[in-house]
Structure 1
């Protein structure tokens, strides 16, 4: 990942954080009534998913567009599922201040997805192994993303204090952190890995052929595997550590 790409990713993450704050709203607090309901919504197909809110999103294999929402009766109607171009937007309605007493789960079927983004304190995970040619995963805020992946190229970016947990395999793995977040990818086997940290976060990666790593600040990059090519640079108190 070149410097221009990293800068673009960081700008996008800042936008994610800003949007997440807007979605949380400043209106009257709405407390969940404790009564669990399940509803289904039908929309058109999508290539990207953008999530903002403090709920769980589960990605499953299936026909795109048939979305299931499970949560409290008076909270579920406040979740918007809309399309902007080819992007599925999942978020709370603007100017709503939500307080849930039960879990809120949105189940999203996917066939082919190129980008997954999370802004806020929610969680995204998938069921089974997700196969794709290229995938970009972005996290802005304090949320968590956990994915099992089989892809040619994977880009993972964090802006904030959240966590991304990855497993599976990829040929090219590009990761970057701006802030105190963590990318845990020991269980993701990559041929080539590029890792960049600006801040106090950490990246853990496993690579078999080539690794290029750079730390600016107090963050740490840990790598496993036996790459034949290494390009390692650290500016500040951070370290790049061989964990074999």
Structure 2
């Protein structure tokens, strides 16, 4: 007799509507994650920007400049002295600050934003930065201060005696400076680059994690207080007074006619050609010249 029951090993067939519903839900969920991932990538890469705009601004008299925030500043001679040109996203250009107070030009911009999105089991943190570039037409200054994460570049600046203070994590580049003296204090985490031959005397203090690159800076006399952790590169012509107090090294790309090296830290003084140089050992009972490491 033929059995009318269910055949053995027969695959179970789901209703067509149930299968389509499950597939549709999975595809919708995948699409949502794809859209969220795309949005996060766009936010991280900064692709969603407005148009770049520019503004020219005339300023009152100033002989000092202080840069804050995370902007790029360029100092150079121009047709109209003490004029700035600001280049920034049209959404934030009006908020870029270039104001003069007590003979000091203050530059700042609120151009960084934190983006946070919280999803189930996923946390996305993004930092969006609007680039801001500021051209400053100036031929003579007495003081430059660069803070935050800003960068500053100067070419053919003149001064009767320039003081530079750096606490930035960015880069400060001074080229072809014309000044009898340059007083530099580097206490940021960035780098200071000096080039040219228009300065007679350099007085430099290097602190913390910042570095100084002045191997292309032909200066007659140099006084250095090195209390930092990074390297300093110099090329003095006639005189060098180096007081080594930190763990950072000093590399000489030229040996001056006369020099005094006061060694009290772990950093060494090294000629890039001949090797370590003698130092004054203050740890001995009678201070005497010792050999380099």
Q: Which category of TM-score, normalised to the shorter sequence, fits these structures?
A: 0.7 to 0.9
User: What displacement does 1:45 show?
Assistant: 1.7
Would the alpha carbon gap of residues 59 and 123 (structure 1) be closer, same or farther in structure 2, given more than 3 Å must change? same
Residues in 2 aligned to 1:173 and 1:82: alpha-carbon distance in whole angstroms: 30
TM-score (structure 1 length as normaliser): 0.80
The residue aligned with 2:279 is none
The reply on whether 1:71 has 2:88 as its aligned counterpart is: yes
Gaps of 5+ in 2: 1-45, 114-126, 274-293
The reply on whether 1:129 has 2:156 as its aligned counterpart is: yes
Alignment size in residue pairs? 211
Deviations, residues 195-240 of structure 1 (Å, cap 9, x unaligned): 1111302221111111000111211112232322211012232111
CA contact (8 A) 2:83 2:138 kept: no
What SS class does the counterpart of residue 179 from structure 1 fall into? coil
The residue aligned with 2:190 is 162
The residue aligned with 2:98 is 81
Comparing 96-105 with 130-139, greater Cα deviation is found at 96-105
The residue aligned with 1:188 is 217
The residue aligned with 1:113 is 141
The residue aligned with 2:59 is 43
The reply on whether 1:210 has 2:226 as its aligned counterpart is: no
CA contact (8 A) 2:86 2:93 kept: yes
Gaps of 5+ in 1: 1-30
Residues in 2 aligned to 1:65 and 1:208: alpha-carbon distance in whole angstroms: 35
User: What displacement does 1:48 show?
Assistant: 0.5
TM-score (structure 2 length as normaliser): 0.67
